Structures are given as structure tokens and as C-alpha cells.
């Protein structure tokens, strides 16, 4: 328990560091967000308006850096991430709130499905090494090396078009109002299938490969031979002895993958114009939308940290050797 508390303390420290870096980095890169906004408005602004913009974005030149920093921290605690430029005058928190569910829904679900499918398949393939199952390995190696956005482009080129079941872009039919009725959910699923498929295909192969290799390694461990010698049923040897141990490295890989859900599939979202966080990040970069960038980076950092925490907890649960006795 004290181990977990220690980890928790470490994570809090990391969060603070991330938040602080997040505050300073945009202030160090060249370019002035307010100037960018003024250019966008073609200079049609009074000097009063410009000044109030600076105050609004927390870039008040009259304030010291330290007081800017503390008011930034205070705003963060209130969940206030500032104003977005691109979606002006929506607050960043609202913009992210719009994009996050789509990303988590699409990438989150496919990552989880991909992990479970791939790990299960890898366990079986690794267990049956030396049989036909090995012929799967070159295929998965090939598939896992295909960048998924390229796969997405190919899928769009081949499968979408007039009269096709698969829409080429968006997350739901234009004109539908997001709510929980069947028409909307159906449309969401229909739009999600193709991007989900491309992510799934490439991620599953990765999991198959790593799980298969661990299975082969673990299968030659002594305790697996002992389990055979004990006359245990094949299934039990495979699941409780071989797969159970082979799983451990994959679990930490899975936690990392969870952390990259938010930021990792930017390209898929761009390819499919999927209105998730990745697409927003892309737009924010294009528009020099610093507050939105900061907000998204913060979310990405926090999700990676959260995933790491999950990995720690999962490891504690799965591997007794990591538990320290009090």
C-alpha cells in the first residue's frame, strides 16, 4: 500500500512538472498569439481591444511571469483552460470536451479490442509454435509495419465513394443532432467502422507478435515443463502457466498504448476527418491556437500519466514479485 502511495506522490510531482512546462513552453516559442489573432481579424481592432485580448489570454505584459504562472495554476484548478482562437470565443475546455469523447470512443475501444484480440491470438499462436500457426507470423510482421494512416488512405480509396456503405469522413451523418437515439448511434457506428478497422488491423498484429514471442520464451521455462509433467490439462498449462506469465510485458505495453489513445492516432483522425482530439490538435497547430494546443497537450500528458498509474496497479495485481511486504 505504501508503495502505491509513493507512486501516487511521484505522479503528482510529474503532473506539476508537466503543467509547469506546459505554461512556459508556449511563452518561449517565437510568435505572438494575439498578433496572430489580429492578423486573422485583418487589423480591424482598436488598441483597447488588443490590450484586453492580452489580458484575456493571460499574456498581460504588465504582470510578472510569476503572477501569470500562479493565475494560470489557479485557472487550471478551476478547469479553465482559456479561450480558443480557432473556435473563438469558445473556451478550450468546451472544445476539448467536444473532441475527447470521439477520440476515446474510437481509439479507446479499438485499442482495448486490439489488445485483447491480439494477446489471445498471440498466446495461441505462440503455444502452437512449429505448426501451421507459425505461417501467421510473416503476415503479422508485414501488417504491423504498415502505417495505419496509409492503410486508412487505401481503405478510403477502395471502399468509399458514391453508393458505398462506408462514409469517407466525419463521425456521423451531417444534419443529425447528437443524442442517444438509434439513428444517431447507427450512423456513428457506420462512420466509425472504417477508421476502427484500420487501427485494429495494425495494432492487433503488434500485440500478436509480442505475445507470441513471449509465449515461446515462457514455454521453455521450467515451470511450464513441470506443469506438463504434473499431468495438468493442456488448457490449464497454457493459460495459468504460460500465458499468465507471458502476459506481463504486454500489460505494460497496453498501459502505454492507453496513454497514447488521446494523442496517438492524430493521423487516422486527419485521414478520416474524424472530429476527435487529433484533428483538433492538427487544426490548432495550423491556426497557431496556443491555448488549445496547451489544453490538448495537458490532456495527453495527463492521460499518459493515468495510463502509467493503471499499469502500476495492474502490475501489482498480476505479478506478486512487485508487491513489497510491509
d(CA 72, CA 80): 9
In whole angstroms, how close is the CB of 316 to other proteins at the nearest point?
Answer: 12
Which residue number, 177 or 229, has a Cβ lying nearer to other proteins? 229
Nearest by Cα to 273 from 167, 178, 181, 189: 167
In whole angstroms, how close is the CB of 315 to other proteins at the nearest point?
Answer: 11
In whole angstroms, how close is the CB of 135 to other proteins at the nearest point?
Answer: 17
Chain residues binding other proteins by CB under 8 A are: 130, 219-223, 225-233, 236, 240-241, 244-245, 248, 318-321, 325
Q: Which residues pair with 305 in a beta bridge?
A: none
Which residue number, 242 or 271, has a Cβ lying nearer to other proteins? 242
Which residue number, 40 or 230, has a Cβ lying nearer to other proteins? 230
In whole angstroms, how close is the CB of 232 to other proteins at the nearest point?
Answer: 5
Which residue number, 232 or 310, has a Cβ lying nearer to other proteins? 232
Which residue number, 207 or 241, has a Cβ lying nearer to other proteins? 241
In whole angstroms, how close is the CB of 312 to other proteins at the nearest point?
Answer: 17
Q: How many CA atoms lie within 13 A of 84 on its CB side?
A: 22
**Beta carbons within 8 Å of 105's beta carbon, 6+ residues apart:** 188, 192
In whole angstroms, how close is the CB of 244 to other proteins at the nearest point?
Answer: 6
Contact 194, 166 (CB under 8 A): yes
Which residue number, 89 or 320, has a Cβ lying nearer to other proteins? 320
In whole angstroms, how close is the CB of 231 to other proteins at the nearest point?
Answer: 3
Contact 84, 99 (CB under 8 A): no
Which residue number, 60 or 221, has a Cβ lying nearer to other proteins? 221
Amino acid at each position: 500500500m505504501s508503495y502505491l502511495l509513493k507512486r501516487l506522490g511521484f505522479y503528482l510531482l510529474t503532473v506539476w512538472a508537466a503543467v509547469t512546462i506546459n505554461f512556459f513552453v508556449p511563452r518561449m516559442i517565437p510568435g505572438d498569439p494575439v498578433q496572430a489573432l489580429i492578423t486573422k481579424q485583418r487589423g480591424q481592432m482598436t488598441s483597447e481591444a488588443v490590450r484586453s485580448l492580452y489580458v484575456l489570454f493571460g499574456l498581460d505584459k504588465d504582470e510578472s511571469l510569476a503572477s501569470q504562472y500562479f493565475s494560470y495554476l489557479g485557472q487550471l484548478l478551476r478547469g479553465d483552460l482559456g479561450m480558443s482562437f480557432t473556435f473563438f470565443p469558445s473556451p478550450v475546455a468546451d472544445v476539448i470536451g467536444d473532441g475527447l469523447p470521439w477520440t476515446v470512443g474510437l481509439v479507446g475501444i479499438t485499442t482495448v479490442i486490439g489488445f485483447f484480440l491480439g494477446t489471445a491470438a498471440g498466446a495461441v499462436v505462440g503455444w502452437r509454435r512449429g505448426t501451421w500457426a507459425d505461417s501467421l507470423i510473416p503476415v503479422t510482421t508485414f501488417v504491423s509495419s504498415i502505417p495505419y494512416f496509409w492503410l486508412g488512405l487505401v481503405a478510403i480509396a477502395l471502399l468509399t465513394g458514391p453508393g458505398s456503405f462506408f462514409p469517407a469522413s466525419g463521425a456521423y451523418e451531417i444534419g443529425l443532432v447528437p443524442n442517444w437515439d438509434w439513428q444517431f448511434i447507427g450512423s456513428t457506428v457506420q462512420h466509425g467502422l472504417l477508421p476502427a478497422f484500420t487501427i485494429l488491423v495494425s495494432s492487433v498484429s503488434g500485440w500478436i507478435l509480442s505475445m507470441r514471442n513471449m509465449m515461446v520464451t515462457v514455454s521453455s521455462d521450467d515451470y511450464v515443463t513441470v506443469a506438463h509433467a504434473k499431468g495438468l490439462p493442456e488448457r490449464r498449462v497454457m493459460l495459468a502457466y504460460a500465458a499468465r506469465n507471458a502476459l506481463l510485458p504486454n500489460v505494460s505495453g497496453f498501459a502505454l498504448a492507453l496513454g497514447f489513445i488521446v494523442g496517438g492516432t492524430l493521423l487516422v483522425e486527419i485521414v478520416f476527418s474524424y472530429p476527435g482530439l487529433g484533428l483538433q490538435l492538427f487544426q490548432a497547430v495550423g491556426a497557431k491556437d496556443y491555448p488549445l494546443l496547451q489544453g490538448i497537450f495537458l490532456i495527453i500528458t495527463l492521460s499518459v500519466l493515468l495510463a502509467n498509474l493503471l499499469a502500476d496497479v495492474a502490475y501489482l495485481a498480476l505479478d506478486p514479485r512487485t508487491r513489497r511486504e510491509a
